Structure 1
Amino acid sequence: MTDQKQTDDTLTFRGGWTMAFLPVAIFGAFCVLYFVVLDAFDMTALATGGFIALLIGALLARRYTKFWDAVMAGIGSPTSVSIIVVLFMVGMLGQLIKDSDVSGGFVWIADQAGMSGAVLTLFSFAACCLIAMATGSSIGTMFTAFPIFYPAGVLLGADPTMLAGAIVSGAIFGDNLAPISDTTIISASTQRFRRKEGAADIGGVVTSRARYALVAAGLSAVGFAIFGGAGGAAAVDEAQLAESANPLGLIMLAPMAVMLFVAFRTRNIFLAVTAGLALGTVTALLAGLLEPSGVIGVEDGHATGFLVGGVSALLPTVCLVTAVFGIMGVLRAAGVLDRIVDGLARGRLAGTPRGAEAAIGLGVSATTVLFGGVNSASMLTFGPVADEIGARQGLHPYRRTNVMDCFAMGLSCVIPVFSAFLFIGALLTGGHEGAPELSTVQIFGAAWYPLALTVVLIVAVVTGWGRRFEGPDGVAVRERVEAPVPA
C-alpha cells in the first residue's frame, strides 16, 4: 500500500528521477553566467533564471499539470509565505536607515577624531558592521561604504587591501547577525520545531548566534588593527570629506537600538520592525534628515519615499524566493529531498549530532559556492535538507540555523572566482583618484571575518560549543532527549 501510494503521489520525469535536478542545474548556470562570466550582481536576473528553469523542467515531467501543482505547493508553503512577508516589512526599515544617512555620521566621527592608518581601517570595519546590522543588507552596505570610506581611507594612510577587506567583512558581519537581514530570516524560517508548532524565531536565533559572530569579529578586528595601516597619509580632499560627513545621521542609531532590543526581548520580528519604523520615522523627521515626502510621496507621477522604496528594493529578492521555493516544491514532490536526506542521514557522517552538523556545513558551503556566493539562494535551497538532517539527530532549530547560516556566510561566500561579494568589492574599488583598483584575489586575502567565522564554526562543531538539542515544547537543552524527534 505504501509503495503504491508513493508511486501515485510522486512526480516523475522522462529520463528518471535525476531529471528533477534540471531546474537546479539551470538556476546554477544562471548564477555562474552573471557572477563569473558577466560580472553582474542582479537578483532579478537570478529570479528570471529560476523561472526559466521551471519552464524547461516542466517539459520533462510525465504529468505536466502535476509539475506545476508541485511548484505552487512549494511557493505557497508556510515557510515561503512567511519569508516573503517578513522581507517586505524589513525592506521599509532598511530603506529608512539608508535614506537618513547613517554612514555619513561615521565619516564625521572619523574626521573629528583625526583617525588614520590602521585605526581608520578598524573604524571602517566597525562602522560597516553597524550599518549592515541596521540596514540588514550586506550588498547595500558595500555600495554605501566603499565610495565613502575607501578613497578617504587610502588617502589617510589605510592599507588599500585591508581597508577593502574590512568593508566587505563588516558588511558580511551585519548580514550574518542582523535580525532584519534576508539571510537571517531565511535561515531561521527554514528550520522547524518538531516538539511544537512553528519555525525558529529570529530573536532567539540572533541571540544564540552572537557568540560565534562576535568571536569571529573580534579576531578580525585584531587583524585589521595590526595590519590595516599602509604608512604615511597623503593630503585628503577636505571638501570631499566634509561633504560626506553628517553628524545628524548618528541619531538614527537610537531607533535601531530600540528595534534590536524589542527583537531580542519579544522575539517577534513584526513588533520589532513596527517599533523601529515608528520611532525611526519620527526621529528622522524631527532631525530634518527626511522631509514628509521622504516618507511617502509622489514625484512626476511616480510614488516616492522610503516606504515605497523599501518594498520596491525587496521585490527582486522576493521574486528569487518565489522561484527557489518553486524549484524546492518540485524536488520535494519528486522525492529528491527525501533521497538526499535519507542518503546523508544513513551515512556514517550524519550518524551523530557532530556528524549531522558537519554534513550541514559541507552541504550548504558547496551550495553557496555553486550559487556564486549568494547565500540567501543557497540557504533557500539547502535549508529544507538541513532541517531534516539536523532534526533526525534532535538538534535544536537554533543550532541548525546557526550552523547553516555561519557556514554559508563564511569561506564559501568569498571564493574569488565565484563570489558576488568579491566581484562587487573589486568593482567598487575602481574609479577613485589616488586609490588602487583591487582584484578579487587581493580582497579575499583581507576578508578576514568570513574566514575567521569558518574557523570558529569548525571549532564549534568539533567541540560541541553551543550545541543544543530540542527538548519538550521546543526548549533548548544540553543533552539529547531520548525519545526520537519526528522528522
Structure 2
Amino acid sequence: MNYSDKSKLEFFGGEKISFLPTVIYIGIAMFLAFNYDFLSMKSVIVGGSAGILVGFLFAKDKEKYWEVIISGIMQPGNAKLLFTFVFMGCFTKLLSYGQIGQGFVWVSQTLNLSGGTVVLFIFLASMVISMGCGTPITAIYAIVPILYPPGIILGANPAVLLGAIISGIFLGDNISPSSQITATAASMQTNSVTGIPADPITVLADRIKYVVFAGLIAAILFYMKTNGAEAVQSNISIGKLSNPKGLLMLIPLGILLLVCVKTKNLLKGITLGILSGLVIGYASGLFGLTGIVNVQKGNISGILFEGVYSMVDVVIGMMMLFSMIQIMVRGEGIQKVSNWITKFKFVQSPIGAELVIGVSCIVSNILLSSIPLPAILLISSFINNLGHRANLHPSRRSYFLVGMMHNLSVVIPFSSVFVMSAMTMAQGLNQQYKFTNVKISGFDIFSNSYYLLAMTFIGLLWIFVGLGRKYQSDNKETLAEQVM
C-alpha cells in the first residue's frame, strides 16, 4: 500500500460522496442519543465503522480507499495524539488512586467551608484536577464521584454544584498546557504559505486573558449562589471522604504542567508526571504495588491497566474520526464546500469568516453530543481553509475554534454527554450515599454553568467587536515547535 500518495480519492457520485461516511456516523450518533439517551464515544465507533463500510461501496478504487483510511491514522500528529490519550488515561487513573479529590475534601473540611464557599471551592478544585486530565470528557468521570457527595453534605445546591464542576472542568482544560483539545486544534490550523501549524503554547498565551476573565465572572457568581442551602443530614462522616495525603498528587500534576510549558512536549510531561506520581503514591502509602498492577484469578487491575483500558473507546473513536476526515480531505469534499462558501464576499472578510466558523462550531458540537474533540476533528480542515481566505492568524483560529465549542453548546440538556453523564453519575451515587438522592434538572445545570455562559458572551465579542483578532503574517511566521 502506498500511504504517501496524495492524489484525489474518487467516488461514484463525485466529491460530495466523501461526506457520506461522516453523515452516516452523525445520523447514527443522533439516533442513539435521541432514541436511547445513549451519549458516548461508543457512538463514534458504531457510526464511524458503519459509515466507512458504506463509503467503501462508492469508492472507484477500493484499494486506494483503505490506503486513505490508514494514512489518516498514520499521520505523525494523529499517531502521537493517540498515544497521548493512552498515557493521559494512566495519569488520570493515577490521580484517582492517589486520592487527589479526597485531598481537596480535607481542605474544605479544614477551612470549614459551607454554602456558596463550597461551590466556589469545588469549582476551583475541578479546575485544578481537570488541568491534568487531558480532555473534559476524561475529567468529568474522574471528578463527579469524588467531589459531588462532599459538596452535597456541606450544603451546596445539587444543580449549581454540577454546573460548577462542569464549568471548572472546562476552565481547567482551557488553561492547561496538557489539553488535548488545544493541541489538536492548533495542529490542524496552519499558515497558508508555510504550512506550519499553530503553536499550542502560543495559543494558550493568546487566549489566557479571556479565559481568566470568564473564570473570574464564574467564580463570583458561584460564590454568590448560596441559595440558603444547609448541610444535609447523613450517616456518612465527611471525614471518611477526606485524606490530606491526597494533596501529594499535586506534585506530579505540577511536574506535568511545568514540563509541558518548558519543553512544549506533552508526552514527556505526561511520562514524568506518571513516573513521579507512582513513586510519590507508593512511598506515601496512598497505594501499594497492587494499586499499580494487580492480577487475581485471571483478572488484572491497577493504575497501568485501568488507565490504558479506560481510553480504549476514545482511541478507537479517534481512529474512526481521523479516517473519515482523511476521506473528506482526499475526496476533496471539504475543499469543494470551502470554495463554495468563500465565493460570498462577506465570508471572505474576518467577521464573516468568524461568524461562519462560530456557527459551524456550535452546530457540530451539538450534533456530536457536545464532545468538543470529535467536533474539532470533524470541522478543522474546513475552518483552516476558511481562515486562509480571510487571512486569520493560525493562533487566532485555534483559540477561536476551541472557545466557540467551550460555550453553552457543551451543556445543551437534550444532547450533552456532560449533562447526561453528570446526572447519571449523581443518580448512581445514591446507592452508596443516600443523601445524594435529589432530583436534578438538566436545564438547571445548563443555567448554572456560569463559565460556559461567560465564554459565550466573549465569543460574541470576538466575532462582532473583533476583540483580539490577529491576522496571518507570512513573513514573520516561524517554525512552530510541536507540543507532542
TM-score, length-scaled by structure 1? 0.88
- How many Å separate the matches in 2 of 1:238 and 1:279? 33
Task: Note the C-alpha offset of 1:420.
Answer: 0.9
Q: Does structure 1 residue 168 correspond to structure 2 residue 154?
A: no
Match of 2:3 in 1: none
Equivalent residues of 1:204, 1:267 under 8 A apart: no
The Cα shift of 1:108 comes to 0.9
**Which of 223, 226, 243 is residue 225 of structure 1 equivalent to?**
223
Alignment of 1:422-433 (within 5 A): 422-430=419-427, 431=430, 433=434
Matched residue type, 1:300: K
- Is 2:39–2:369's contact at 8 Å kept on the other side of the alignment? no
Paired residues of 1:136 and 1:181 also in contact (CA < 8 A):
yes
Q: 2:349 aligns with which of 345, 352, 367?
A: 352
Between Structure 1 and Structure 2, how many residues are aligned? 468
Partner of 2:482: none
Amino acid at match of 1:13: F
> How many percent identity over aligned positions?
27
In 2, Cα distance between equivalents of 1:372 and 1:223:
27
Corresponding position: 1:275 with 2:276 = no
Given that 1:364 and 1:408 are in contact with CA atoms closer than 8 Å, whether structure 2 keeps it comes out as yes
Contact 1:177/1:184 (CA < 8 Å) preserved in 2?
no
The alignment status of 1:453 with 2:451, answered yes or no, reads no
Alpha-carbon separation, structure 1, partners of 2:84 and 2:197: 13
Alignment of 1:14-53 (within 5 A): 14-53=12-51
1:371-393 CA-to-partner distances (Å, cap 9, x unmatched) read 11121110111111122222333
Distance 2:355 2:171 in 1: 22
Q: Find out whether 1:311 has 2:308 as its counterpart.
A: yes
CA distance in 2, matches of 1:295, 1:188: 34
For structure 1, the residue ranges without an aligned partner over 5 or more in a row are: 1-7, 477-487
Counterpart residue identity of residue 190, structure 1 = M
**2:406 corresponds to 1:404:** no
Greater than 6 Å deviation, 4+ residue runs = none
The aligned residue for residue 117 of structure 2 is 119
Q: 1:353 to 1:366 in 2, by over 3 A?
A: same
Q: CA deviation at 1:155?
A: 3.6
Deviates more, 1:450-459 or 1:430-439: 430-439
Find the residue that maps to 1:157 and give its secondary structure.
coil
How many Å apart are 1:137 and its aligned residue?
3.9
2-structure distance, mates of 1:146, 1:86: 23
Residue among 133, 138, 143 paired with 2:141: 143
Q: Is the Cα–Cα contact under 8 Å of residues 175 and 208 in structure 2 kept in the other structure? A: yes
State the distance in 1 between where 2:376 and 2:91 align. Answer: 23
Q: Does 1:294 align with 2:291?
A: yes
- Over the aligned positions, Cα root-mean-square deviation in angstroms equals 2.5
Change (3 A) 1:302 1:189: farther
The answer to whether structure 1 residue 339 and structure 2 residue 336 are counterparts is: yes
* Larger deviation, residues 467-476 vs 412-421: 467-476
1:12–1:61 CA contact under 8 A, matched in 2: yes
Q: CA deviation at 1:49?
A: 1.7
Q: Which residues of structure 2 form unaligned runs of 5+?
A: 1-5, 480-484
Change (3 A) 1:20 1:467: same
> For the Cα contact (< 8 Å) 2:178–2:260, is it kept in 1?
no
Which residue of structure 2 aligns with residue 481 of structure 1? none
In the TM superposition, residue 106 of structure 1 has moved relative to its aligned partner by 0.9
**1:474 corresponds to:** 477
How big is the shift at 1:296?
Answer: 4.0
How far is 1:419 from its partner? 1.0
Task: Determine the C-alpha separation between the residues in 2 that align with 1:134 and 1:189.
Answer: 20
SS class of match (1:134): coil
- Counterpart CA distance in 2 for 1:294 and 1:233 is 34
Distance change >3 Å, CA 332–CA 196, structure 1 → 2: closer
CA contact (8 A) 2:134 2:178 kept: yes
8 Å CA contact 2:178–2:257 kept in 1: the answer is: no
Task: Tell me the TM-score normalised to structure 2 length.
Answer: 0.89
Cα shift at 1:9: 4.9
Alignment of 1:65-144 (within 5 A): 65-144=63-142
SS in 2 for 1:392: helix
Equivalence for 1:152: 150
Change (3 A) 1:450 1:142: same
Selected match of 1:325 from 322, 325, 335: 322
Aligned mate of 1:421, from 418, 421, 432: 418
Q: Within the alignment, does 1:285 sit opposite 2:282 as a pair?
A: yes
- Alpha carbons 2:42, 2:317 under 8 Å: kept: yes
Q: Contact 1:425 / 1:443 at 8 angstroms: preserved in 2?
A: no
What code does the residue aligned with 2:356 have? A
Residue 247 (1) aligns with residue 244 (2): yes
